[in-house]
Amino acid sequence: MSLLTRLLDPDQVIVFDGAMGTMLYARGVFINQCYDELVLRTPDLVRDVHAAYAKAGAEVLETNTFGANRAKLSQYGLEGQVVAINTQAARLAREAAGDRRLVAGAVGPLGLRLEPYGPTGRDEARGWFREQMAALVEGGADCFILETFADLEELEQAILAARDVDPTRPVIAQATIGPDLRTTYGASPEDIARALDRWGVDVIGLNCSVGPQTILEAIERMAAVTDRKLSAQPNAGMPRDVGGRSMYMASPEYMASYARHLIHAGAKVVGGCCGTTPDHIKAMVEGVRPLAPRTRLTVTATHPVPGAEGAATPPVGREPVPLGARSRLGAKLAAGQFVTTVEIVPPRGVDTKKLEQDAAALHAAGVDAINVPDGPRAQSRMGAIATSLVVERHGIESVTHYCCRDRNLLGMLSDLLGASALGLRNLLLITGDPPKMGPYPDATAVFDIDSIGLTNLVRKLNRGLDPGNNPIGDPTQFVVGVGVNPAAIDPAHELQRFHWKVEAGAEYAITQPVFDAEQLERFLASIEDVRIPVVAGIWPLVSARNAEFLANEVPGVTVPATVLDRMRKANEKSKEHALAEGIAIAREMLAQVRGAVQGVQVSAPFGRIELALEVFAN
């Protein structure tokens, strides 16, 4: 009997793999990254996780594509990579599975509410699911596993999409419930079972959110109302806070014992979700082996074919206001003129007197704008939006840095709409430094989206649309900037992200401080195909210690050995010599890059704007 036939056989026990995200996180992948994209960026890492589950005895390997639909990938600026990610993910799982295991194309919710409770139409959702599933089949998926759905209406669209792609390919459909044994939309285990039975899926089940005990109770209730094969993939218990981290405490032995209970209750497909590892799966495989039936039956599955298909076209919104009409900075960028900006860190407290004096002085000096960082290096300072409003009282424009670390998507939307209403126009969109870098390491980070997703959000606002494609009235008029690092440790990854930022709607970029003009020129040559105006960061060093701090403790900044050596030698003479040498190096950088970029952002070390103005002096 083939493994695919066993999957469809109501009496055969099949063991799926465990958590992918848990394993990737344990191997050092930060939570704010797009885990689905790792199949393209670090395929060996994903392949190794699949191989570990295969070695543990899992008979079905799920692809690393839980969030690889157009809606969720758009949060990272990756909506154009749906096919590539899903196809590659299925191929990686196929390589690890070989001929002895099945590959299940994993499909999760869109992360958007469907009509009438949300902006996403049913046909639109069905089209997005269909796009993902077709790519999974192309990569070699044997079946589909639709998992962690709370909205049965959305799950129905995913099932219809699966039948659109291939009416004969098996579908496992799993909802998720809470400790009260209901979905967040109020559906009971019986409601879930009856709906999925009616929609003709091959295997009905539950996964995620809760541990095996709650899943067991729900499976017992589902088995009473359906004859369909049942599946159960619980978390490794409920997460607990241990030393500031969420830990799943259920041991492999505990999970194995409950796998046996689940099979006795009627579930014939078992596996694990969040917190489960190859050790858990190995214990489950060994624990359920005695329960596998000796008889082998041949089963032919039939499926109802759904009706007409059709995906709605998302609204495009209004035409954005021309770049040159949005702000004075935007006008200069649009005209190809050289722009000068100075970066001033917001005050630590509420006293803005020095900030206002500096803003007036820079305006009088003819500087185009003041860059206002947003909690750099996870420091706690006055907010960038409030600081920018103080700056603009004095006739000079601000460039408001806005990061993803501290706010969820709703908070970002509220902030940006408010900033637009108050007259702020120039943005620099960044992901933000993790809290552990700063003086409050126990603070939590949000990272709903990164700078690419934020760029997509602002592009929509500039077209008069919110994240759900709902009209907001008059569009915002932001000049959309992003950060870029010509000295990145992984140049290929930085280049790829820059391309995505441009695709997402970036209109200019500001670099990290440049201390190597040739390195910048090489980077500029590499982005010629997607070139937007680039503003070079310039940092006047004040001492050898300052140079060493930047080189060793500020993420994304590279200070060449030649510059460090110059600063050390100058420092040996005196502090004044070191300061003069730092200004000289900054002037050299400005002179060398001036013809290659469209502007400079000169930092004001320790808030000393006179040092920044010295860099501009002839």
Q: What are phi and psi of 536, to 5 degrees?
A: -85, 135
Q: What does pTM read for this prediction?
A: 0.53
At 192-227, the pLDDT tens digits run 999 999 999 999 999 987 888 899 999 999 999 999
Which of 404-408, 414-418, 530-534 is the least confident region?
Answer: 404-408
What mean pLDDT do residues 344-358 have?
Answer: 94
Sign of CA dihedral 432, 366, 368, 420: positive
**Is residue 299 over pLDDT 70?**
no
Mean residue pLDDT across the chain: 89
Instruction: Tell me, rounded to whole angstroms, the distance of Cα 585 from its chain centroid.
Output: 37
> From CA 280, how far away is CA 53, in angstroms rounded?
10
Q: Stretch 32-45: mean pLDDT, rounded?
A: 93
Res 312 pLDDT > 60: no
The pLDDT of 352-369, averaged and rounded, is: 96
- With bands split at pLDDT 50, 70 and 90, how would you rate the model's confidence at 479? very high
For residues 371-386, average pLDDT = 84
Instruction: Please give the structure tokens belonging to residue 599.
Output: 């502007």
Under 8 Å between Cβ of 550 and 526? no
pLDDT tens profile 41-98? 999 999 999 999 999 999 999 999 999 999 999 999 999 999 999 999 999 999 999 9
Q: To which H or E segment does residue 369 belong?
A: strand 369-372
What pLDDT sits at residue 306?
35
Amino acid 404: pLDDT: 86
E strand intervals along 208-317: 229-233, 239-242, 245-248, 267-270
Average pLDDT over residues 388-404: 95
Residue-wise DSSP of 107-175: E---SSPBTTTSSB-HHHHHHHHHHHHHHHHHHT-SEEEEEEE--HHHHHHHHHHHHHH-TTS-EEEEE
- Tokens 């002895």 correspond to 100
> CB–CB of 427/455 below 8 Å?
no
| Per-residue pLDDT at 296 | 35
Tokens of 147: 């998992």
Extract the tokens encoding 513. 């401080």
CATH 3.30.70.100 fits 337-540+597-616, yes or no: no
Give ranges for CATH 3.20.20.220 in the chain.
Answer: 337-540+597-616
Torsion of Cα atoms, 390 then 392 then 396 then 400, to 10°: 90
Q: Mean pLDDT, to the nearest integer, of 343-352?
A: 93
> Is the predicted pLDDT of residue 267 greater than 70, yes or no?
yes
Whole-number pLDDT of residue 438: 54
Strands 229-233 and 203-207: parallel
> What pLDDT is stored for residue 602 in this prediction?
96
- Cα–Cα distance list, 144 to 4, 94, 175, 283 (Å): 12, 14, 14, 25
pLDDT band at 440 (very low <50, low <70, confident <90, very high): low
- Determine contact, residues 46/85, Cβ cutoff 8 Å: no
Where is pLDDT greater, at 22 or 271? 271
Q: Does domain 3-291 have CATH number 3.20.20.330?
A: yes
Q: What is the pLDDT of residue 194?
A: 96
What is the predicted pLDDT for the residue at 257? 86
d(CA 485, CA 530): 15
CA dihedral 408, 410, 413, 419 (to 10 degrees): -80
**Is the confidence at residue 618, as pLDDT, over 90?**
no
Give start-end residues of each CATH 3.20.20.330 domain in the chain: 3-291
